[in-house]
Amino acid sequence: MSSKLRVAVIGAGGRIGSEAVRAVEAADDMELVAALGRGDSLDVLTAAGAEVVVELTHPDSVMGNLEFCVRHGIHAVVGTTGWTEERLATLRGWLAESPSTGVLIAPNFSIGAVLGMKFAQLAARFFESVEVVELHHRGKADAPSGTATRTAQLIAAAREKAGIAPQQDPTTHGLEGARGADVDGVPVHAVRLRGLLAHQEVLFGDTGETLTIRHDSLHHSCFMPGILLAARRVGEVPGLTFGLEHFMDLD
Ligand SMILES: NC(=O)C1=CN([C@@H]2O[C@H](COP(=O)(O)OP(=O)(O)OC[C@H]3O[C@@H](n4cnc5c(N)ncnc54)[C@H](OP(=O)(O)O)[C@@H]3O)[C@@H](O)[C@H]2O)C=CC1
Ligand SMILES: O=C(O)C1=N[C@H](C(=O)O)C[C@H](O)C1
């Protein structure tokens, strides 16, 4: 058996999964041992001796795939979105029964997007008002995006820690949904448009000034350095890690 890291991709036929297959194949220190699409048996993972699974499917599929991986001691790098506290608690329960297994869930694998979230977290305590606008392709199943949800949560936590009062919405007349989704008190607006890939603006405002932090993913290749970094490190970090920043030596 070679000393290369044995990596499998689930969701291999998808927009990001197909790019991940190419990235793993091109990595000198990795061997692609399986590339699974919908309907393929997960038993292929154990038969192929996968050490790390890269999971890039759909919010309806990810839990079943992760349960299999964790129960078989296969580390997982997860890009699939749609996470809730309930789902995370279930995953933590599985991991508690397989204490040497690592799972990294990354709302975004793009280095620029991770930095954008960090910058927003840093700016959060200096501005009275903040809103998030995320813009994606028309094929996206979940809204708001995992990145926007995480960004809003980080901003809300930073504001609370700094003792900033919750934002008051001045709207007294309006159509349902016009002010976006409320994520921990931060309005998040989701745009779906043919031609786009993944984009986000965090808009901060205070007296006489605004600050906009914008990130644009222009091609799925932008997610690959983060996925490869995560695949290399996930086996060293048992349990659940949420956010690629924890593998980027930023903290
Ligand atoms: N964290 C990050 O940086 C990023 C995360 N994402 C997330 O990744 C996920 C996939 O996105 P995207 O590639 O655009 O979506 P796609 O729909 O293009 O691809 C998903 C693929 O997964 C397949 N699939 C679904 N269920 C299963 C299953 N149980 N077993 C195996 N394959 C399955 C689908 O098959 P079929 O077509 O037959 O349904 C499809 O080929 C989304 O949740 C998205 O938000 C995307 C980009 C970056
Ligand atoms: O579905 C996508 O395309 C993306 N999904 C992730 C998200 O929900 O944040 C990451 C990126 O925005 C691309």
pLDDT digits (tens, 9 = 90+) for 88-126: 999 999 999 999 999 999 999 999 999 999 999 999 999
User: Residues in the chain with pLDDT < 70?
Assistant: 1-2, 251
| Statement: the pTM of the whole predicted model exceeds 0.90 | yes
ipTM score of complex: 0.99
Q: What is the pLDDT of residue 1?
A: 54
Q: What is the pLDDT of residue 2?
A: 66
* Ligand 1 mean position, distance from CA 72 (Å): 22
Residue with CA closest to ligand 1 atom 38: 38
**Structure tokens that stand for 239 in this block:** 């349990």
CB distance 150 to ligand 2 below 6 Å: no
Residue with CA closest to ligand 1 atom 16: 14
Q: How far apart are CA 244 and CA 230, in angstroms?
A: 7
Q: How far apart are CA 186 and CA 97, in angstroms?
A: 36
Q: What is the pLDDT of residue 250?
A: 84
Beta bridge partners of 32: 7
Quick: pLDDT tens for 210-231. Answer: 999 999 999 999 999 999 999 9
Q: Where does residue 109 rank: exposed (0-12), middle (13-18), buried (19+ CB within 10 A)?
A: buried
CB distance 58 to ligand 2 below 6 Å: no
Share of the chain above pLDDT 90, in %: 98
Q: What is the pLDDT of residue 174?
A: 95
CB distance 223 to ligand 1 below 6 Å: yes
* Ligand 1 mean position, distance from CA 80 (Å): 7
* Ligand 2 mean position, distance from CA 189 (Å): 14
